[in-house]
Chain A
Amino acid sequence: MKPMFQVYDVGSGIDLTLGDDNEAIPRCKVAVKTLLQVFKSLASIERSVETCDINLDGEQCRLIFQLKCKHSITKTHHLTFQECESLQAVFAKDLSPNVLTCENKLLSDVVVNFSSGLEEITMNVTPCKVVLKSYSDDDNDEMAQLMKTEVSLSPDEFSEFQIGVDTDITFCLKDMRAILAFCEVAAMPINLHFEVGGKPIVFSLVHEDYFRANFVLATIASDSNSQHSNATANFTTNTTNRSQIKRSISNSSKSKLPKTNSKHLRKSQAQGHKTLPQAKDKISADEMDCNVSDHKISPEIPLQSENEVNVTEYKGFSSLEEPCFKKVKSVFFAPSQYEQLNYTRTVLAPDSDSEDGT
């Protein structure tokens, strides 16, 4: 790797070959806002700065940036810093069973579809495709319950696509957006290394000439997913055929669900109906898709049981046979009248062993 710095002097007495555990290496942290102040106006920096000297003055406790500009002008910034212990993320990037490499534009175009307030995103990978969907673990967050977004990507979109373990992995979308913004500036492809939920996901970027960047994000452990996603029921609109509005209502379709799913559903009902917005009032036989019996109605309720890794099999869509190439499926759900939730529901296909007696 070529050196990024023209002069790099860490002072005598520090043996760089000892690695990160070397106590003698000074470690400090600087507020990002403070650092950004130095590089406030990028346009003027590109235009006028000739060299930048960075010095760590231990005695005065200042990190000094001296920018020498054209016309002999000098800008000096003495920034305060704090000493700290560095966090070491425990991860073995090279041992990750799942590796994806793509241009940053691909992921940037994908994340643009998700609402800006969304905190976390779930990535579901199988050898056939990669699906990114919005994630919400906050039952009280009505906005999150109202709209869920999903985007599917095919393996062709990636320059490297290696999936050793099918998995759902959930991590912070905001962090991902920041990483993608950096990749755009660096104009480099991005690599994702990950295993399963609970283990870190690493976004890495190598600029051959100057730097390597590893962004390690924590992910939500997969067993906690199941409790959160039970609560929502939703209906999907197939973007190609509006008449096939499928409503998967947990009560009425219970009988058609495979056993494992119905257990989860009952559990969710026992927990309370507060987050079961279900637009049952408008159901008629016409609207129910006659193809229902042919398909496994799996949940548009995104259950994350161990038996079901691929929650979104989309078997409810008649156009399943086509591979999903980067299709944006915006799943919209909104109760038309909230008050009616408490009214007696018309159950079209009651479960014979129904507990709630409706």
Chain B
Amino acid sequence: MVLRSQTVDEDFALNACIENARNVSHILKAIHFKDTATIFATENGLKVTVEDSKCIQANAFIQDQVFQEYSIRDEALTFQINLDILQECLSIFGSTNSATSMRMMYNGYGTPLVLTLEEDGAVTDCSIKTMEPDDILDFEFSAANVVDKIIMKAECLREAFNEMDVTSEVLQITMSPHPPHFRLATFGLLGQSHHDIPKDSDMVEFFECNETQSNKYRLNLLKPSVKAVNLASKVCVRIDHRGFLSLQFMIKNENGQICFVEYYCCPDEEFNEPTCTK
């Protein structure tokens, strides 16, 4: 691989440079539950999306301000990439105290994503094949349709998620204007467990709930969000009128900058309920 010199950079469709590659790999860890991801690059930054089973979607937003240099030629660039390989390249120098600087270059459709990583004088060039992007689910989750919303410190949700009964197939989230205001319930072989967080707890920063809603979500789909909870400092849980769940995690990187990771999950339908067909 030829080391690309500075002067050639302006030709690339996407050219971004960051002083600490860990700021990127750290965020990607929060959504790394499948091996492929779709990357959307816009002038505002990068959005990395991972999906599973057409039921759950995770998005990581890395704003342009996180990068020391960020330039994009076109309106938007989209490509699919192997996330395992990308993460491996980003941490190619191993986990050391010194920062690895990274330059990311992409020249449009069909070209590979080129990474140049440098640490203490050692330089690595990586060229990762990009793929045709698959269609991404649109959960049609809009802020206007949000019925229940709670913002809390991540620690309390972290405990709840990590202690969750894994023999339970579903996680039931109940939000209500009456106590218990926010309840996570599991129904496993061991019995039923509830984790209740009242709205007046000092871990809760914001609570808005107009009607009582109780929805079940497949626990194995939500499992990957545990990674995000472990890295986050704050979590925002929102449920819309259809029962769709949105978990937004605020993650601070090493420089203190904030990035967001979002999980969308659709509720588990009860099969014994009669469905209306149009």
Contacts and interface: CB of A to CB of B under 8 A. Distances in A.
B201 to A, nearest CB: 4
A75 interface: yes
Interface in B102-159: 156, 159
B152 to A, nearest CB: 9
A75 B191 contact: no
A73 B193 contact: no
A34 B191 CA distance: 8
Contacts of B190: 31, 33-34, 37, 77, 79-80
A41 B162 CA distance: 9
Interface in A13-44: 31, 33-34, 37, 40-41, 44
B163 interface: yes
A94 to B, nearest CB: 39
A73 B191 contact: no
A34 to B, nearest CB: 4
B252 interface: no
B51 interface: no
Nearest to B159: A44
A78 interface: yes
Given A40-B163, A48-B159, A73 B192 contact: no
Given A41-B163, A72-B201, A73-B201, A80 B196 contact: no
A329 interface: no
Contacts of A73: 156, 195-198, 201, 203
Contact of B193 (A33, A41, A72, A75): A75
27 contacts: A33-B190, A34-B190, A34-B191, A37-B188, A37-B193, A40-B163, A44-B163, A48-B159, A62-B192, A71-B201, A72-B197, A72-B198, A72-B200, A73-B195, A73-B197, A74-B194, A74-B198, A75-B194, A75-B195, A75-B196, A76-B193, A76-B196, A77-B191, A77-B192, A77-B193, A79-B191, A80-B191
B273 interface: no
A44 B193 CA distance: 17
Nearest to B164: A40
B136 to A, nearest CB: 36
Interface residues of A, number: 19
A79 to B, nearest CB: 4
B202 interface: yes
B196 A74 contact: yes
Contacts of B156: 71, 73
A78 B192 CA distance: 5
A33 B190 CA distance: 8
Contact of B180 (A41, A71, A74): A74
Given A71-B202, A77-B191, A78-B191, 17 more contacts: A31-B190, A34-B190, A34-B191, A44-B159, A62-B191, A71-B156, A72-B197, A72-B198, A72-B201, A73-B195, A73-B198, A74-B195, A76-B193, A76-B194, A77-B194, A79-B190, A80-B190
Contacts of B202: 71-72
Contacts of B165: 37
Interface in B189-240: 190-198, 200-203
Interface centre among A37, A48, A75 (most CB of B within 10 A): A37
A316 B197 CA distance: 71
A77 B159 CA distance: 15
Nearest to A68: B196
B165 to A, nearest CB: 6
Contacts of A37: 165, 188, 190, 193
A315 B156 CA distance: 65
A33 B201 CA distance: 31
Contacts of A77: 190-194
Interface centre among B190, B193, B194, B203 (most CB of A within 10 A): B190
B187 to A, nearest CB: 10
A79 B200 CA distance: 28
6 nearest CB pairs, A to B: A79-B191, A34-B190, A72-B201, A78-B192, A74-B196, A76-B194
A217 to B, nearest CB: 28
A320 B239 CA distance: 79
A272 B201 CA distance: 75
A40 to B, nearest CB: 5
A73 B192 CA distance: 17
